[in-house]
Structure 1
Amino acid sequence: MSTSNLELEVSSSLTAPSLQVPTFHHTPYYCEENIYLLCKKLCDDGLADPDGSDLFVIFISNEKKQIPLWHQKASQRAEGVILWDYHVICVQKKRNENSLSLVWDLDSSLPFPSPLGTYVADSIRPSIQIFSEFKRFFRVVHAPIFLRHFASDRRHMKDSAGNWIAEPPSHEAIVAEDGAVHNLNEYITVSPDDVVKNVEADTVNVVFSEKLGVVIGEDDLLGFFSLIS
């Protein structure tokens, strides 16, 4: 994950338990690995179901790999706005419970975790008009499936000469159960054609079986998680 040099132009209750971000492993610019380890720790520490069945990993990206998010710690601009090429967060929503959907974003300056409604309003800001090239798509993957299939050898964080763009994590690279060593591009590559047009119960059911989950638009993010019950 990296930031874009392109200038970004934009036209401008519920509470969740607050935890400490340093409790979780975090390597700047490696959000996909940070979230992978976060899911495992939430399960191990009893903050999520043991198998991670109440966790959903969300890859936020678009065709141009330029997505605006607010309240990001890496930003040096007003209100923490930044252009990522992609970003990865975790949403926790228990099934068969009238529970609050929580967002775990280790790169956000918002409360950790944040209620999904708060995160959408303050970090995604769908009410703000942005140029169409910055339109964001959300690939939702069920965490138990993600933890089995995701792999990254970090090749995307090297320049053409093989030098690191950002210092890599100290832990070993993530290898999938099937032996795959790198499939990050499968998760972050999205287009308008991938987006589910009508989010309904059947859409939610797909996420529990498909390796790459489902892709939804930002207007459907809250509705998608409201259908998990």
Structure 2
Amino acid sequence: MMASASSDVSQFHHTPSYCEENVYLLCKKLCADGVVDASDLFVVFISNEHKHIPLWHQKASHRADGIILWDYHVICVQKKRKQAKSVDLVWDLDSTLSFPSTLASYVSDGIRPSFELFSEFQRVFRIVHAPLFLRYFASDRRHMKDSEGNWMSPPPEYKPIVAQDGTVHNLNQFIEMSTKDVLEDVGEDSVNAVFTKQLGVLVGESQLEQFFSCISS
């Protein structure tokens, strides 16, 4: 199975409102199916301190342009590190764009950095190397229950994800981010850090494509 612009999205597990778990399973399936090595995958959390981030071409939107305001969203970026001229890809199970999309087209059409936003809607991207994410991420889904303990959206049928060290919930650590904490500049040190830091690195929307262009074999 080869990654292409026409991969069958229906072959991947998807539970509405549980994008972090959907991406967790997507990473595992891409590796299990031989599409890509885990070392070539990066999990990207998108949010900000206000928990208001706009994305376009989202299936959950009721507008023609597909815009929706998420509190946070999670996608997977594929970077073939051993192929110098390879195209970076975005796997987003909630997008109406090609699956996968090229990173350039996803940024241009789905993120639209050229669209002038008020400061409260400025997006921050937490880039986490997939092997670290698969090892450390955990969610008992507490964030999807209201004050009375009722589900705000039906949970997946499978058991909650537990980290390899036994941690049962740390989703909040991944989605807490602020524009003031993004990298001042993208350099060798910051790129190298993504391979060692459990919570990855934070970049602004103008730095996203540059960050991945700096990753080499």
TM-score, normalised to structure 1's length? 0.91
Q: CA deviation at 1:16?
A: 4.5
- Indicate whether 1:74 and 2:55 are aligned: no
Q: CA deviation at 1:18?
A: 1.3
Aligned to 1:148, which of 132, 135, 145? Answer: 135
Aligned to 1:126, which of 102, 113, 138? Answer: 113
State whether residues 142 and 213 of structure 1, in contact with CA within 8 Å, keep that contact through their aligned partners in structure 2: yes
State whether residues 60 and 94 of structure 2, in contact with CA within 8 Å, keep that contact through their aligned partners in structure 1: yes
Separation in 1 of the partners of 2:105 and 2:119?
Answer: 23
What letter matches 1:115 in structure 2? T
Q: CA deviation at 1:183?
A: 0.2
- Indicate whether 1:176 and 2:163 are aligned: yes
CA-to-aligned-CA distance 1:185-206 (integer Å, 9 cap, x gap):
0000001232111001221100
State whether residues 16 and 115 of structure 1, in contact with CA within 8 Å, keep that contact through their aligned partners in structure 2: no
Aligned to 1:165, which of 141, 144, 152? Answer: 152
**Aligned position for 1:188:** 175
- Indicate whether 1:47 and 2:52 are aligned: no
Aligned to 1:89, which of 68, 75, 87? Answer: 75
What pairs with 1:24-63 in structure 2 (closer than 5 Å)?
Answer: 24-49=12-37, 52-63=38-49
Which structure 2 residue ranges, 5 or more long, are not aligned?
A: none
Separation in 1 of the partners of 2:4 and 2:159?
Answer: 32
Which structure 1 residue ranges, 5 or more long, are not aligned?
A: 1-14
User: Aligned Cα RMSD in Å?
Assistant: 1.0
User: What is the DSSP-based 3-state SS (H/G/I as helix, E as strand, rest coil) of the residue aligned with 1:222?
Assistant: helix
User: What is the DSSP-based 3-state SS (H/G/I as helix, E as strand, rest coil) of the residue aligned with 2:207?
Assistant: helix
Separation in 1 of the partners of 2:134 and 2:125?
Answer: 18
TM-score, normalised to structure 2's length? 0.96
Aligned residues: 213
User: What is the DSSP-based 3-state SS (H/G/I as helix, E as strand, rest coil) of the residue aligned with 1:79?
Assistant: coil
Separation in 2 of the partners of 1:17 and 1:119?
Answer: 12
Q: CA deviation at 1:17?
A: 2.8
Separation in 2 of the partners of 1:91 and 1:189?
Answer: 20
- Indicate whether 1:138 and 2:110 are aligned: no
**Aligned position for 1:23:** 11
Q: CA deviation at 1:35?
A: 0.1
**Aligned position for 1:117:** 104
User: What is the DSSP-based 3-state SS (H/G/I as helix, E as strand, rest coil) of the residue aligned with 1:34?
Assistant: helix
Separation in 2 of the partners of 1:116 and 1:64?
Answer: 25
- Indicate whether 1:203 and 2:203 are aligned: no
Indicate the percent of aligned positions where both proteins have the same amino acid.
66
